[in-house]
Amino acid sequence: MKILGIDPGLRITGFGVIEAQGGTLRYVTSGCVKSGAGDTPSRLKAILEGLNEVIARHRPREVAIERVFVNVNPQSTLALGQARGTAICAAVLAGLPVAEYTALQVKQSVVGHGRAAKDQVQHMVKRLLALQGEPSADAADALACAICHAHGGRLGGFITRTYKIKSGRLV
C-alpha cells in the first residue's frame, strides 16, 4: 500500500511517498512543494497544485499528515493551519483517507522517543528506508509521518482523525 506523508508549511510543504507491505517499507519518492513569495492565496494554490501532481503521479492509497501545533506566534499558527487545510483538501478531493498524527507520535514511532531532534528524525528515516543520502528536513518529516502511519501509529498512539467526503461534505 502506498502512503503519502505530508509535512505542511506555507513556504515549504514536504511530501514523501512510501510503499508498505507487511513489515517492509520501500521508499518511492520525496521532495518539497515550494510556494515562493506572494500573497497567501497564491501560495495555497501552489501547495494544492503541487500535491495534486504528487497524488496523480504516485497514486497513494492513504495520506498521513502532521497535526498542527499552537505556536507562540498566532500568525504562524494560522498560516500553518491554512497550509495544512490545503493539503487535507488535496487528499480528500482525490478520494483519499487522511490520518493525523502529532509530532510526538511521529517521533516516537520513527526514533523511539517524542523529544527527538530534526537531525535524529532525518537519520532514522534514512536508515529505515535505506536511503543513500539524508532527505531534506521537510521531506524527512513527511516520510516520518508516512512511516508512522505504516506502523499503525503504534508506539505513539492512535490515528486521531480521518477525513472523507460523504454526500459532498467533509466528515
> Residue 87: which CATH number?
3.30.420.10
Predicted pLDDT at 76: 86
The reply to whether the predicted model has a pTM over 0.85 is yes
Number of structural domains in the chain: 1
Query: Mean pLDDT, consecutive 10-residue segments, the chain of 171 residues?
Result: 96 97 94 93 97 98 88 85 96 96 92 88 96 94 97 51 61 61
Predicted pLDDT at 67: 87
Q: List active site positions.
A: 7, 66, 138
Range of the domain at 96: 2-170
DSSP states of the chain as a string? Answer: -EEEEEE--SSEEEEEEEEEETTEEEEEEEEEEE--SS-HHHHHHHHHHHHHHHHHHH--SEEEEEPP---SSHHHHHHHHHHHHHHHHHHHHTT--EEEE-HHHHHHHHTSSTT--HHHHHHHHHHHTT-SSPPPHHHHHHHHHHHHHHTTTTTT-----EE-EETTEE-
Predicted pLDDT at 160: 45
